[in-house]
Amino acid sequence: MKKIHSRIKRKFKLSTHVGQHHFFHPSKRKRAKTFKTEQSAHNWAKEHGISKEKYSLKRVKKDKKFQIVMKE
């Protein structure tokens, strides 16, 4: 990992001896899992113990992929 230059630390008023990795590298948000085919979505659900009655498939990403949506 590259070190942050002291000039940048002064600009953002950060201490010089404490790590600032989290300040400059925010955590990625979790995204919904998408699948290229219906069959791959059904296989993933089956592997994770989700029965077909508990979920439905939704077309996403310009109708090119499928997303599992849980039924309530």
pLDDT, tens only, 2-50: 777 888 888 888 887 777 777 777 788 888 899 999 999 999 999 999 9
DSSP 12-66: TT--SSS--HHHHSPPPPP---EESSHHHHHHHHHHTT--GGGEEEEEETTTTEE
Q: Where are the domains of the chain?
A: 6-70
Task: Using a cut of 0.75, tell me whether the model's pTM lies above it.
Answer: no
Sign of the torsion formed by the C-alpha atoms of 38, 39, 44 and 47: positive
Q: Pick the closest to residue 53 from 72, 39, 34 (CA basis).
A: 72
